[in-house]
């Protein structure tokens, strides 16, 4: 294949300057205006299907949370995020949910059902809808233009253009990557195609136009449950949430660490790494005395975790898994000095934060046990989720024993797991730790 011949350098600037002076052709000008016209058309056509959702704290009679919802049926059913109305679910006596109509009037609404794992909720607004979105599968390709609608920071209904960038790969549950600016207050609003088909529900952002959607399929499933014959709203939605979390942790923890473990070599140790494709692992090292030719000790860390957690309340989440390995080595410290350093690091491994409203105090059991490959000192700490019977947060701390100048401290953290899964995973975790 012949290579394209470069343009002579002397011609580049004069041509560019001449082109800049030429008036835009009518066709070019129209092409530049098309995205703006399309966006304004999308907004005008579909904005009446989208309402502001606000959660009122009853003692102050003022809103504590705002979000967005969108109508999905003729009889006034609305989709939003669970996290938008979570205060009402967790503390119903202290909060009520309202939608704000186009004329500014607030209307009380009823929370019918939630999907806590996928962060969705269905509301009933108490009036028929004159226009609504019909949920159905939408064929989209990476790079397709989409439009996100919502109430950013209580500034009024807004529309944001962006692009579809597919489903995330490193995730325990489906999420769509949307390259566009979803801001606080837009949560629960729809992201749609130019012809008004819902691709997903706005849920979160990482800033710099990195935003995420709950896929339409999850919203469709929740709506179908509400519209099924014989459906009745749960008297206590926290009971339903507990059931959903129990089923969820069984689905992703029930088979975790089964089969041959994937191992990494970190210093003089062999450790468990990337237990499943949804995990991502990072690492690093530091020396105690960077200026010294030979440091007092060196610390290497290897961390694996998922990007997911299930929002329950502002001060409670569940569904996290994390593995942290820390390797200490020394050529300077004697056995007693290294033992003191090793014990200090093991003692201050740290705990997951939690509110006493939601969890009990930690209870820990310490044991010296024989792992399949080496003796270890193990500490298993548990605390119960107060309103989620049978679910616990757990931290399993392990220190490998038997060397005077090297040690491995490893921690497995789980939140919202059953005792059966915690017990099984702790045993499997030990099998992946050994001296090389």
The model's pLDDT over 193-233, given as tens digits with 9 standing for 90+, comes to 999 999 999 999 877 778 999 999 999 999 999 999 999 99
pLDDT of residue 95: 97
Cβ count within 10 A of residue 139: 8
How confident is the model at residue 436, as a pLDDT? 80
Q: Domains in the chain, please, with CATH?
A: 47-132+223-234 (2.40.10.10), 145-217 (2.40.10.10), 247-435 (3.40.1000)
Burial 173-208 (b: 16+ CB within 10 A, else e): bebbbbbbbbbebbbbbbbbbeeebbbbbbbbbeee
pLDDT of residue 390: 95
- Kindly report the pTM of this predicted structure: 0.86
Six-digit token pair at 185? Answer: 């207050």
Predicted confidence (pLDDT) per residue in 236-249, tens digit = 999 999 999 999 99
Give the pLDDT band (50/70/90) at residue 367.
confident
Choose the weakest-confidence range: 17-26, 55-64, 233-242, 393-402: 17-26
The DSSP secondary-structure symbol of 261 reads: P
State residue 215's pLDDT score.
97
Q: Can you give the pLDDT at residue 135?
A: 96
Asked if the model's pLDDT at residue 262 lies above 70, the reply is yes
- Confirm if 33 and 96 have CB atoms less than 8 A apart: no
Q: What mean pLDDT do residues 309-329 have? A: 93
Tens digits of per-residue pLDDT, 394-420? Answer: 999 999 988 889 999 999 999 999 999
Instruction: Enumerate the β-bridge partners of residue 380.
Output: 365, 396
Identify the residue with better confidence: 391 or 9.
Answer: 391
Residue 71 has pLDDT above 70, yes or no: yes
Q: Please say whether the beta carbons of 399 and 376 come within 8 A.
A: yes
Q: Given this model, what pLDDT does residue 277 score?
A: 86
Structure-model confidence comparison of residues 240 and 259, the more confident one: 240
């Amino acid at each position: 294949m012949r290579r394209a011949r470069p343009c002579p350098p002397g011609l580049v600037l004069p041509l560019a300057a001449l082109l800049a002076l030429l008036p835009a052709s009518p066709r070019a000008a129209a092409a530049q205006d098309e995205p703006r016209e399309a966006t304004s058309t999308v907004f005008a056509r579909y904005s009446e299907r989208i309402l502001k959702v606000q959660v009122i704290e009853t003692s102050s009679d003022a809103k504590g949370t705002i979000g967005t919802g969108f109508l999905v049926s003729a009889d006034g059913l609305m989709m939003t995020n669970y996290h938008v109305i979570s205060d009402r679910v967790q503390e119903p006596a202290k909060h009520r949910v309202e939608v704000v109509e186009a004329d500014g009037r607030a209307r009380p609404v009823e929370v019918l059902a939630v999907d806590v794992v996928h962060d969705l909720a269905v509301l009933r607004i108490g009036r028929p809808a004159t226009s609504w979105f019909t949920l159905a599968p939408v064929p989209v390709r990476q790079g397709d233009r989409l439009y996100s609608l919502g109430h950013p920071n209580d500034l009024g209904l807004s529309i944001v253009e962006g692009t579809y960038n597919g489903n995330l790969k490193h995730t325990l549950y489906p999420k769509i990557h949307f390259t566009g600016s979803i801001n606080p207050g837009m949560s629960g609003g729809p992201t749609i195609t130019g012809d008004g088909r819902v691709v997903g529900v706005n849920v979160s952002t990482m800033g710099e136009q990195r935003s995420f959607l709950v896929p339409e399929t999850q919203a469709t499933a929740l709506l179908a449950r509400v519209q099924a014959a014989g459906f009745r709203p749960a008297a206590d939605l926290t009971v339903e949430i507990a059931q959903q979390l129990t089923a969820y942790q069984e689905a992703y923890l029930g088979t975790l660490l089964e089969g041959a473990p994937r191992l990494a070599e970190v210093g003089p140790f062999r450790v468990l790494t990337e237990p499943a494709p949804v995990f991502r692992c990072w690492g690093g090292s530091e020396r105690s005395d960077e200026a010294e030719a030979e440091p007092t000790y060196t610390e290497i860390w290897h961390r694996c975790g998922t990007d997911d957690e299930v929002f329950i309340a502002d001060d409670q989440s569940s569904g996290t898994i994390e593995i942290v390995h820390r390797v200490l080595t020394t050529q300077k410290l004697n056995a007693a000095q290294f033992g003191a350093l090793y014990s200090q690091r093991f003692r201050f491994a740290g705990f997951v934060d939690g509110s006493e409203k939601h969890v009990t105090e930690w209870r820990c059991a310490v044991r010296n046990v024989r792992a399949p490959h080496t003796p270890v000192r193990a500490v298993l700490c548990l605390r119960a989720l107060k309103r989620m019977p049978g679910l616990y947060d757990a931290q399993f701390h392990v220190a490998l024993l038997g060397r005077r100048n090297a040690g491995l401290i490893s921690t497995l953290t789980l939140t919202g797991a059953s005792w059966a899964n915690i017990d099984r995973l702790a045993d499997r975790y030990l099998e992946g730790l050994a001296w090389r």
